[in-house]
Amino acid sequence: MLSLPSLLVQVGQRSVEEKVLHGHLRSFAWEPIERSRIMLVGNKGFVARIDGEEIIALDSGTQRNLRAISFNPADGTVLIVGNAGTILLWDEEKFYGINSSTSENLRAVAWDAHGRMALIAGNRGTLLKYFDKKIKTVGNCRANLRRISWNPHVQRALIVSSCFAEEFIPSPNLFSYQGDTEVIVPLNERRVDLIGVDWHPNGQSALVLGFDVVWHNGVISSYDEGRLSQIAFQSRHVYPVATAWNSKGSLAAIATAAVEPEIGRGVIYLWNGHVLRQIYADSKFFFSAVSWNDEVLVALASTATRTYNC
């Protein structure tokens, strides 16, 4: 049994529920058909489904640390990615290993809104396209890529990145990927590690977030028409790492991690476009993922999560 605990926090309109889980869990996703069910992934090949109070462990066939998960909205299949180039496809019956032709740690995976293709991102600028059961290398990125968000209306994805490549070589920290042409355009370059990103449901803007690597101030920005506009908040030693809009676009959840246990807390904020409000905090558990199911917010944290390993 894995010893390091994780925490699943569910926030409803009138209640907060906490579920302690074993192991360092890193990410989760709502199932597109059974919307009340969650699939989680984590270290040492951990994969499980949560259906109400029932936790069903699945044999992934690997001991690699698994970092990210995404459901295909068209057919319900699942892509899971992790360390050492691990890519798994799950079809409700079994897991299939997919050759990625890379040994880099893969940090993010996201299907587009129509389930036609998925992007997979990882360390050292690794960017892969999955389509028709094939993997294709795309892109000219340099630093560690952290998260991906597809525009819900057009074939365009935003990709956030660390701001330095090897040996502190400056790198863009935000990219746009055009799904139809495979063109990648750098959009921003500052000494800010961007870690979280999510498009607004209207597809006109997105939240991007991370922290200034020099001053260690948290950064939350709105991306709109090619520009980043910073959102003011008390940001000293606050490390935002994950964000998600609800389906109405009326609220975004923003969650934080820490660089060390003594520096920072695991906090969940709600942003309504005008005011940032804290709704949950913990000094031992630090967040790595947030998502909504209608108006219910779920966030995943672990005692082992750090800003750099999100």
Torsion angles phi and psi, residue 43, rounded to 5? -70, 160
pLDDT per residue over 145-184, tens digit each?
A: 999 999 999 999 999 999 999 878 999 999 999 999 999 9
Answer yes or no: is 38 within a domain: no
Q: Is residue 171 part of a domain?
A: yes
Identify the residue with better confidence: 294 or 246. Answer: 246
**Averaged pLDDT for residues 36-58:** 93
Average pLDDT, the chain: 94
Domain assignment present for residue 1? The answer is no
Residue 15 belongs to some domain of the structure: no
- Would you say residue 108 has pLDDT above 90? yes
Report percent pLDDT > 70 for the chain: 99
**Average of per-residue pLDDT across 9-20:** 92
Does residue 155 lie in a domain region? yes
What's the whole-number mean pLDDT along residues 68-93?
96
Specify the CATH number for the domain of residue 85.
2.130.10.10
Of the candidates 195, 304, 308, the one whose C-alpha atom is nearest the C-alpha of residue 259 is 308
Which pTM value belongs to this model? 0.96
Q: Is 287 inside a domain boundary? A: no
Going 289 to 108 to 250 to 53, the CA torsion angle's sign is negative
- Note the pLDDT of residue 3: 60
Q: Cα(58)–Cα(73) distance, rounded to whole angstroms?
A: 21
Domain that holds residue 160: 67-280
31-40, 42-51, 61-70, 241-250: least confident range? 31-40
> Please, which pLDDT band fits residue 1 given cuts at 50, 70 and 90?
very low
What is the number of domains present in the chain?
A: 1
Task: Output the DSSP codes for 248-297.
Answer: TSS-EEEEEE-SBTTB--EEEEEE-SS-EEEEEEESS-EEEEEEEETTEE
The answer as to whether 27 is a domain residue is: no
Q: Taking residues 247-271, what's their average pLDDT?
A: 95
* Residue 264: predicted pLDDT: 87
Beta-sheet strands, E only, within 123-251: 127-131, 134-137, 145-150, 156-161, 174-178, 184-188, 192-199, 206-212, 218-224, 227-230, 239-245
Q: Which residue has the higher pLDDT, 263 or 305?
A: 305
pLDDT at 272: 95
Per residue in 182-202, pLDDT (tens digit) is 999 999 999 999 999 999 999
List, for residues 220-233, the tens digit of each pLDDT value. 999 998 899 999 98
Task: For residue 252, tell me if it sits in a domain.
Answer: yes
Q: How confident is the model at residue 2 (pLDDT cuts 50, 70, 90)?
A: very low
What pLDDT is stored for residue 261 in this prediction? 86
